[in-house]
Structure 1
């Protein structure tokens, strides 16, 4: 029996499926024969099975790196139902649970372990991984590894290094949204052959893509009219309505509820228990309609979602593709409606401007690097939260900046560790020492003597231990101490806790020109801004397309379905004037070409309004920092874009925070620059 026949037998007996779908067989065959592979499958096309089935055939653990807890929970529930030994490690678990899961992995009792990419930076977890055998590294949402992707995550760039560090022989990359440029980037980073990239295509014949231009003021009423016939009591159609802002989610859900709809708002501002209850209610069919920000939907495996509505413009073509991909996973006809207008474009553009660091923040980071480069070891320890606060650069842009400095050869990551460890003995320290003989007993006694316990907890001072060890001619290096404490915890002799992750970089180029490099990085940031703004306008161009929406969307991802036989549908006479070929089930093929209405006009930006709304922030900034803020900080405040320094300033408590979020950020910044040429006193 061939390896694929064996896999098909497992598919039927373990997972209960008659046969593979789409490109699943091609991916599974490559993985179980030891080849690194990339699976580019449309949303809902069965990516997860591409690692779940091979995990049962491979000899050792399959390690899955996933960006979201929701993804892990849904996949774990599926695996549990089918008797597959799988677990996840996440921040919601208590220490005993985490320890038991790692013990199971050490004993070979798990086939699949799921973690977040951030956990791979954890020193203790890395020690754990180095002591177990791993057959396969699976990277979910693998487009995050590419700077050309729509939600690049800097930590993902380190995954190829982790694969080498832990001796993992092969990798499987999974994603639903990868353009040709992103696929090429993924292949290069993991040395995947072009023939080992399996793409199922992005065409979904059961999805009707509709774009309906509606001015902002009329959008809620139009949504009610469109959804009303499908939300009759007892016959409600499962629906997701996507919005950009949390407040919009509450407002729109409230308007629908007032008209008798069974609906709930879902967004990151709700506590986790409330979000979980709403999500589970939707999955069970108890809440048929959800009005949500993009916080909702990742990992949702509900086959009968009939409608996905974009009340606001999505963040990108990739986001749009992911979000409409949640409709009609059961293959039945489903509708994807965009109630479009250019009003939301300003908010999305402002988010882009909010991600670009200040020149002062970049200089602060470079100055720290130069100072660290003057030390004998040239090591630069970084607590990301502290550096973010001190440099006024938000965490994600800061991580991106550090990755860029790595790529420029300025710094190189060396290791990460928890800055603080503390322990609590579960048995008397003398009894712990008595378990060992000779040098090992001396080493344990050294730990006991040099970790003073206050009441029940003792803080581990690695430098003190190292110096005491040097004086006693005992190896008390940090790595040996951590290994010993981990072992003691595994045996149940003590409890070990760690916090404050520190990343240590080596300064490769300590003599950098801070001014020149700052200008270069600022220029790159502005170029990224322009590219992201271009992506937003590409999305608007898609919605205003005069040719088939379905074909244009597929072509964006490199799927040239117009050249494939058997996929054309008959078009109406109207649609033929707009497109030579088409799907037959989008608004353009129905003869409706969209022209998005412009954003509504806004009140003029006056000096009086600036004094009233920006004045309190400027006064508070002067009081706390001794000088006025720059125009960029004021613009961020007025547009509601977060900055680390807004926390100590308590800027969100000021009435004008975010009051200008619907104005173009460049206009607000220019207004601030012009208005701040004179001294502004708060009214």
Structure 2
């Protein structure tokens, strides 16, 4: 079947867009490729069409469940056999999907990158021939990108382990440095990295300078012109989304809030209502938008500052996918800048926390087993920076990841023990008897004791899990696993503790400085006196955009300065002491200035969660202030 015939038969298109043809031709010629296209320009087709023509499975790594579900709904409409394995499914559903994959009935399987840490899944997928690995949001592999995810760094290794011949990287937001990083890590040829233009002639970019007090009236003014137009209003915090939606409703504008703190069913209903047009305006955090393929979004309004130019580009890219004129409006001031900066500062671990982790590593011997959540709590390092820190140790050849496993396995009989044993030959019956005998019953669940099974039968852990997995797949038992443990080989543990602590802390401070610079670049972009469309395209390595677009606020003769916030005066030493004294008393230890600054600025850390800091009257008292200034103040007052 030819490419064009398949394109027409399944997708109803007679031709491919610019960029799509080059990427798909590269893949069909047996090479790996990267598609760096702006949001809404058809990146997904670059794997969906080849998936139908390649002989084996196409495995897609997708960062968000909502994104997977939208892609699967589209593939289903196109009569393409596709599925995902995710945390929302029952064991019967995931068992059926794995069976369909084994028997070749599924052409596209979508998973999160975390699924590859699951030993049961790796055991399953390792037996499946795969033609193509697709990495969506591939910029997440770059440490210096705007959305670095440490687990993405392991994808080149997983690809080698699973013997996948080709890879396709997809992203809409990669700067030149990030493109180089992606290319190097996956070993792609430069000629197979396809970048299409980022310039969108139908998007009208507007920056309207407003103070905080003027923001809400300005938003209502924008919406009241045509309240039925499909619109997304982006905010930073969940409670802001709720508040703004209420205010808009009171003003007679049909609007609903959407954020990650809401029930999943409610979020799904809201997304469907927006897609259908029954809810024209969604007030959302960035939890909304990934995978929202609504062609006629006429307005994207940023009520709060976006997190970066990359985020801004991605969010406005959801407007006007039908090619019709659409407005992208920023109601801008610098009041929210401190909130964005505080997110960055809260993710930088303190030297003492890094030192405590490294000391634990030195005591581990040749193998280091860790439970991420427990280690996060014991060292006071948030989970994302903890993952990043482990990657830093990997890159410095101090540790090497081996595998992950679940500490606990338990199963429940669906068929009787006797009926299960009767299905197997005597040798397997003896092994399963040892497994069952070594798994004592507690209420209705049997807890697997690997040591007891080893002593009775010499059954290795891997064989026990394979056997239970098989019984689970056959519907004979229900198998559950929990408490993920990551295992690393310790390549060197005689490093100098202070030197390595300083090295890693320096890396985090560089990352912190890079993120703060990214925020400054974003303010510089919005305050630019040259064409916004041209500057945005150049940021993403597109140098073909017109120097003057004629449809941005700068080209309309309205460059802006974003108003600075009126911050309350800094507190006195007595106020600081009053706010901090309850927390200090509860902790029964001297808290660092960094921890106290997090507390006062309303930033949570594992230690502050453990101390139930949110219940203290001082929590978040200085959230309108800048973190660096509060830390400096604490140092002065001692």
Same fold (TM over 0.5): yes
Q: Confirm or deny: 8 A CA contact 1:38 1:198 kept in the other structure.
A: yes
CA shift, 1:438, in A, is: 4.5
2:107 aligns with 111
Q: Confirm or deny: 8 A CA contact 1:137 1:163 kept in the other structure.
A: yes
Counting only pairs closer than 5 Å after superposition, residues 206-355 of structure 1 correspond to structure 2 as 206-231=202-227, 236-355=228-347
Equivalent position SS for 1:372: coil
Q: For the residues of structure 1 that align with 2:38 and 2:11, how far apart are their CA atoms?
A: 21
Whether 2:548 is the aligned partner of 1:582: answer yes
Q: Confirm or deny: 8 A CA contact 1:303 1:328 kept in the other structure.
A: yes
With 447-456 and 328-337 compared, the bigger mean Cα shift is at 447-456
CA shift, 1:603, in A, is: 2.3
Q: For the residues of structure 2 that align with 1:480 and 1:394, how far apart are their CA atoms?
A: 35
Counting only pairs closer than 5 Å after superposition, residues 13-24 of structure 1 correspond to structure 2 as 13-24=9-20
2:399 aligns with 411
Whether 2:199 is the aligned partner of 1:203: answer yes
With 426-435 and 391-400 compared, the bigger mean Cα shift is at 426-435
Equivalent position SS for 1:182: helix
2:130 aligns with 134
Q: For the residues of structure 2 that align with 1:275 and 1:658, how far apart are their CA atoms?
A: 28
CA shift, 1:673, in A, is: 2.8
Q: For the residues of structure 2 that align with 1:389 and 1:492, how far apart are their CA atoms?
A: 38
Pair 1:613–1:13, CA change in 2 (3 A): same
Counting only pairs closer than 5 Å after superposition, residues 42-61 of structure 1 correspond to structure 2 as 42-61=38-57
Q: Confirm or deny: 8 A CA contact 1:619 1:628 kept in the other structure.
A: no
Q: For the residues of structure 2 that align with 1:455 and 1:344, how far apart are their CA atoms?
A: 53
CA shift, 1:379, in A, is: 0.9
CA shift, 1:442, in A, is: 2.5
CA shift, 1:648, in A, is: 2.3
1:369 aligns with 361
Q: Confirm or deny: 8 A CA contact 2:333 2:565 kept in the other structure.
A: yes
2:509 aligns with 526
CA shift, 1:18, in A, is: 2.4
1:424 aligns with 412
Q: For the residues of structure 2 that align with 1:604 and 1:194, how far apart are their CA atoms?
A: 52
Q: Confirm or deny: 8 A CA contact 2:334 2:565 kept in the other structure.
A: yes
> Among residues 445, 450, 454, which one is paired with 2:438 in the alignment?
450
Whether 2:379 is the aligned partner of 1:379: answer no
1:278-336, Cα deviation, whole Å (9 max, x unpaired): 22211111111111111111111001111111111110010000000000001000011
Equivalent position SS for 1:389: helix
Pair 1:183–1:432, CA change in 2 (3 A): same
Counting only pairs closer than 5 Å after superposition, residues 33-112 of structure 1 correspond to structure 2 as 33-112=29-108
2:428 aligns with 440
Aligned residues between the structures: 638
CA shift, 1:461, in A, is: 1.5
Root-mean-square deviation (Å): 1.4
1:359-379, Cα deviation, whole Å (9 max, x unpaired): 222112101110012xxxx11
Q: For the residues of structure 2 that align with 1:137 and 1:177, how far apart are their CA atoms?
A: 20
Q: For the residues of structure 2 that align with 1:42 and 1:73, how far apart are their CA atoms?
A: 21
Q: For the residues of structure 2 that align with 1:264 and 1:139, how far apart are their CA atoms?
A: 32
Please list every run of 5 or more consecutive structure 1 residues that lacks an aligned counterpart in the other structure. 471-475, 563-567, 569-580, 678-683
CA shift, 1:51, in A, is: 0.7
1:674 aligns with 636
With 479-488 and 46-55 compared, the bigger mean Cα shift is at 479-488
Q: Confirm or deny: 8 A CA contact 2:567 2:624 kept in the other structure.
A: no
1:662 aligns with 624
Q: For the residues of structure 2 that align with 1:457 and 1:614, how far apart are their CA atoms?
A: 47
1:81-112, Cα deviation, whole Å (9 max, x unpaired): 11111111111111111111111101110001
> Among residues 451, 465, 470, which one is paired with 1:482 in the alignment?
465
Q: For the residues of structure 2 that align with 1:491 and 1:289, how far apart are their CA atoms?
A: 47
